[in-house]
Each structure stands twice: as C-alpha cells, then as structure tokens.
Structure 1
Amino acid sequence: MEKHILQSLLSKHEVGAVFFDEPMSKHTTWKVGGPADVFVVPTKIEHIQRLMNICTDHALPWHVIGRGSNLLVRDGGIRGVVIKLADNFSQISLENDFCVRAESGRSYVSCANFSMRNGLSGLEFATGIPGTVGGAVMMNAGAHGSETKDVLLHAEIVEADGTISRLSNADLHFEYRYSILKDHPRIVVSATFQLKQGDTEKMLETVRGWTKRRQTTQPLQLPSCGSVFRNPEHTHAGFLIEQSGLKGKKIGGAQISELHGNFIVNLGNARASDILQLIELAQTTILEKYGISLIPEVRIVGEDV
C-alpha cells in the first residue's frame, strides 16, 4: 500500500501516535535496524483493536515490539505496521492478595520488583530479564531455573480481528522459550501472575546475588540483546561458543563478547548484517564441531538492504 494512502487511512481512526519511516535502531537494545514503514504507539486497548481491524481489512503485515531487547531488525527495515507496547502500556496492580496484573509493555524487571515490594514471591527470576511482560509471555522467558509458565495465571489477548480473549496458562501451550503465540501471532495486552507470600528482604538478597554475578559475567555496558541462542539440551550455548574459540570474534562493528560467548555486542557502529554474520558463524562452527544446531532465542525480523 502506498504510504500516502496508508497515512490517510490511519488519520481517520484514533490509534495513538503514528510515525512514518521510523528508524528501528531507536527502539532496539542492539541499536541497529532499518526503518519501519509505519510505527504506532497506542495508549488504549481500543487503539490496538482498531489497528488490528485496519491491518486485517487491508492485508497489512504487522509486528509488535516491546523494549526491543530480544529483537534484531535487519538493515532494510520492516514493511507494514510496527506497534510498540512499552511505557505507553505499562500499568500494574494487585488483583488480590496473591495476584499481580501487569499490562504487556511493563518492564518484566519492574513487574518483579513491584511484586517483591508487596511481599509476593515467584517473579524474582525476572529481575534479570530486560524485556516486557508481553514478550515474556510470548516466549516463556526464564532464568535461574524458573520460567514465565511457572507463575502465569492467564493473559489477555487482542485477536487479529480485534476481539479480546483470555488465554489460560494451559491455552498457551508453554514449552522451553515457546508459547503458542509464536506460531499464531496475537497481541498480549496484559498478564496476571499467581504468586505466593514471601519475605521481601530475603527475596532482595537473592536478587542482589544474581545481579552481582551478571555484572561480572555479562557485557552489560555495551548494546546487546542478552542471550542470542537457546541453550541446547544438557549444555550451554555460551560454553560451546567459547570452547570453539569464537569469543572476541569481530565482524564489522559487532563482536561475540569477550565476557560471555552467548552475547553479541555492538561496539558502536554495528549494522544488523554484522550481527547476522556472527550468528551464522556461531551456528556453522558449533554444528561442524559438535553436531549441535544452535537455535536463536532472539527474534529476527525485517528485510535486507
């Protein structure tokens, strides 16, 4: 669809703030990525419903992003509509004594901190996951032996036709770094977590220990997406990459971290193509040396230049 036609179409409906040719490098933690044709920042569920109706009626491709912490956008950018749910969609509340409801744009770390401050245990693992609640539900994010599926009660979803539905934990068919939303894209607008009573100070002490370890083992000062690959069964992707001698390998402005083999960092002037080449190098090397296929945990979208 021509840009001026799309602009006219969106101007007839209240959908939030709309931007054209928005650089995705401004919206990903890797700080790379070409422009999105249309970039929308809704503030109400009704905005999202209208966007879904427009995209469905006009066969427009659409993508949802949160804080861009698990996202690689190719240098050619994204065709269609990008919907951002972050600070614009981040309300949080106690639903009862042991439930927390958070909108999908809420930082998962912030959601965990809110829970701990209210004496609720179960989300401590999320303090090391830099994405949003919606992204965590979609990919069953986890750390420290716990996963989103362990605490999620249900999620509120906007379907492709704009209707709202509620999916239970069982409905989402969670597996390791997977939910049914990966195969049947819909938009998570909120999630409710079933937690249990905990001791705030003890929880904070545990989290401080994890934070200290991350600070010494992960390249937190440089732009990255966190872990690039899923951990294969019975081993760790970072260990395999390090054993293969790839630690510190550079292509263009990107580098496999010298601190952690499962991190690829932007040294300051990386392009998405540099990062993709390092991803492919790691995959090829590990397959040849160990017969193990590394599966990206990061979501790769968009087009090449």
Structure 2
Amino acid sequence: MPDFNSLICDIKKALPESKILEREPMSRHCSFRIGGAARLMVTVRSEAELGILLGMLKDTDLPPFFIGNGTNLLWTDEESSYCVIKAGDGFSDLSQGLDNTIICGSRVSLARLALFAAGLGLSGLEFAHGIPGTLGGGIFMNAGAYGSCLSDVITEVRSLDSEGKAVIRSGDELAFSYRSSVYCSNLEFICSAKIRLMPGNKAEILELMDSLYEKRSSSQPLDMPSAGSTFKRPEGDFAGRLIDAAGLRGYKIGGAMVSDKHAGFVVNTGAASFSDVINLMEHIKKSVFDNFGVELSPEVRIVR
C-alpha cells in the first residue's frame, strides 16, 4: 500500500488535467462555512477520469467521499483522510429527451434544471427552484420542498461504483424515501439522470416557481451560512414548529444559533465550529424530546 505522498504523486501523474488540491479546507466547499482540511480533493472531468481515480484509491487509506455543492454537509473541524471527489464540467450536460424527458448531469444545479424545464414548458420541477444543491446531491438525499421531491420525477440514474463500473438503475430501483435513496448506503458517484415531466403552460410554471421562491426567501435565513433544514420532518409535525415551541428560537451555543427567522435552521453567525453546531443540535434534540416526546433526526449529513 503506497503512503499518502507517493499515492498523491501517482494520482497527479495519472490525472494531469484534473484539479487536485491537497489539505483543502472543507469550509470553502460547504454552505455552513465550517470544516477542516480534507487530505485531498479532486475535481474529475469525466467518467473515465473518475474510474482511474477510484481504481487508484482502492485498498488505500485514502477513501473516496463524493460531494456536490456541500449544501447539506456539516464537516468536522479536524483534518480528515478522505479524498473528496467533485464533479467537473463533464457532468454539466443538460438536454431535452423524448416523451417529455430531460437528461441531466449530476453537476447541474437544481435551480438551473428547474429553469431549463420551465423553458421547455415542462412541469414537475417547480419545487426545486431555489433549492441550493446539485442534481447529484439532490438525488442522494431525495431533495424536496412544498410536498414534492425528486423521486416524483426521476426515472433513471447512471452512477459509477467504487470499482469504477457503470451502474444504471430505474426509478423503482433507487429505494427513494423521505430524504434518502439507495446511494445513502452505497458508495457510488452519481453521474447523470433521466427526468420525466408533464407538459404545462410556461407562464404558469414560471409564476409558480416565482411564488415558491418568494415563499422560501421570505421565510428562511438564506442570508446566513447553514446546511438548510437541520432536522427531518417528524411524522405529523414540523421540526421547526417543535423547536420554536420549545422556546429555542434564537438560542445560541458559541457561533451556532437557532435561526430567529425559521427555527428549523441552525445557522453559522460567523465563527461557528463543528462542535458548536453538534452541541446545539444535541440540545435541540433533548429539549424537543423532553417537552414533546418527539425524537428529531438530523437531515444534515454529518462528517466526523
């Protein structure tokens, strides 16, 4: 097994055109603006480059970790031994398919995808306008809002497994559930997806998108670093309502605070640490359970 330094040199030689960063602060790549250095970060431009990289990482002490825009991540402040892998321009294709479908690369933002669909007069992605992640990250967690989610429209996903082999799954094989998919338990890099929508009126689609975006921006702390909704919605209720009812709106630990605009969001007031957010989340969970007997589960993905 090669040591880190020789492995990284070998990766740089094998992928001379890839963007490769050593000890890259994850705070630069996560919307929470929190996170220590990852040992290596590689932005791959194609499935071929990804396959080469995964082959080189196999059976090493530098495990791969796939991220999109980092909008649902809380990353440890400690240096981590991951090789963080991001999708480059080769995963940005976006095209119209047959029978009201769209073929979309995993690097494409959900906002861009929603606008592209609207421009074609296709309905079904209005909810995604304003969700600040990529399609790949959205599929991973089955992103959604306002009663809709990606599982409603995804019909096929292409990924590469840890061996670098292509895997194609139909929508029925993706094990979608609330904020979860098959990829939460499988180490695979999502490459692209096929999306099936419904014909609609372009003006009405755009009007609904604008309405949902206004609703989002007026009710959520979009001007502060966060990872979106901190906890999953408990059955029959809302995490934000329970947190607010527990008297925690505006509550702070260090630089982490329960948003005073929407109690379902923990925000970074400027200098929050990983521990600040974790301690605040634990306090929230305990307070909600003590007051209402409800166990909150994190929606944010925590990397320790």
Query: Normalised by the shorter chain, which TM-score bucket?
Result: over 0.9
Displacement after TM superposition at 1:128 (Å): 3.0
Candidates 96, 99, 104, aligned match of 2:98: 96
8 Å CA contact 1:39–1:83 kept in 2: the answer is yes
How big is the shift at 1:77?
Answer: 3.5
Residue in 2 aligned with 1:128? 130
Structure 2: give runs of 5+ residues left out of the alignment. none
AA of the residue aligned to 1:226: G
Select 1:42's aligned residue among 37, 41, 44. Answer: 44
Instruction: Answer yes or no: is 1:3 the counterpart of 2:17.
Output: no
Take 2:72 and 2:88, find their aligned partners in 1: how far apart are those partners? 13
Equivalent residue number for residue 55 of structure 1:
57
CA contact (8 A) 2:25 2:36 kept: yes
Structure 2 distance, partners of 1:76, 1:89, is 30
How many matched pairs? 302
**Residue number in structure 2 paired with 1:85:** 87
**Out of 157, 168, 172, which is 2:170 matched to?**
168
Once residues 80 and 71 of structure 1 are traced to their aligned partners in structure 2, the CA distance between those partners, rounded to angstroms, is 15
2:201 counterpart of 1:199: yes
Contact 1:92 1:103 in 2 (8 A): yes
Give aligned-pair identity as a percent.
37
**Cα distance change on mapping 1:161 and 1:210 into 2, 3 Å:** same
Report if aligned partners of 1:67, 1:86 keep a CA contact under 8 Å in 2: no
**Counterpart check, 1:249 vs 2:256:** no
CA distance in 2, matches of 1:83, 1:11: 14
Q: Which amino acid aligns with 2:291?
A: K
Q: Tell me the amino acid that sits aligned with residue 176 of structure 1.
A: Y
Equivalent AA in structure 1 for residue 251 of structure 2 = K
- RMSD of aligned Cα (Å): 1.5
Question: Alignment partner for residue 27 of structure 2, among 25, 28, 53?
Answer: 25
Superposition deviation, residue 158 in structure 1: 0.2
After TM superposition, the structure 1 stretch with the greater mean CA deviation from structure 2, 8-17 or 237-246, is: 8-17
User: Which letter does structure 2 place at the counterpart of 1:27?
Assistant: H
Deviation of 1:86 (Å): 6.0
Deviations 1:229-261 (A, max 9, x none): 100000000000000011101111111100101
CA, structure 1 residues 88+253, in 2 after alignment: closer, same or farther (shift >3 Å)? farther
**Aligned-pair distance for 1:285?**
1.1
Among candidates 231, 234, 246, match of residue 232 of structure 1:
234
Measure the CA separation in 2 of the matches of 1:223 and 1:58: 34
Q: Distance in 1 between matches of 2:91 and 2:143?
A: 19
Q: Distance in 1 between matches of 2:90 and 2:229?
A: 26
In structure 2, what is the Cα distance between the partners aligned to 1:249 and 1:86? 39
Matches within 5 A, 1:132-281: 132-281=134-283
Per the normalisation by structure 1, the TM-score is 0.95
- TM-score w.r.t. structure 2 length? 0.95
In 2, are the aligned partners of 1:134 and 1:188 still within 8 Å (CA)?
A: yes
Residue 44 of structure 1 aligns with an amino acid whose one-letter code is S
Farther-moved stretch of structure 1 (12-21 vs 271-280): 12-21
Compared CA separation, residues 144 and 169, structure 1 to 2 (3 A): same
Aligned 1:105-124 pairs, distance under 5 A: 105-124=107-126
Which residues of 2 match residues 56-71 of structure 1 at below 5 A? 56-58=58-60, 60-71=62-73
Q: What letter matches 1:118 in structure 2?
A: L
Comparing 78-87 and 269-278, the one that deviates more: 78-87
Letter in 2 for 1:289: N
- CA deviation vs aligned residue, 1:191-250 (integer Å, no higher than 9, x gap): 110111111110111111112222221111111111011000000000000000111011
1:103-143: CA deviation from partner (whole Å, max 9, x where unpaired): 11111111111111111111111113211101111111111
Contact 1:86/1:104, CA 8 A, preserved across alignment: no
Report the Cα distance in structure 2 between the residues aligned to 1:242 and 1:77, rounded to whole angstroms: 34
* C-alpha distance in structure 1 between counterparts of 2:61 and 2:166, whole Å: 20
SS state of the match for residue 23, structure 2? strand
Distance 1:274 1:71 in 2: 15
Which range moved further: 242-251 or 73-82? 73-82
Q: Which residue of structure 2 aligns with residue 289 of structure 1?
A: 291
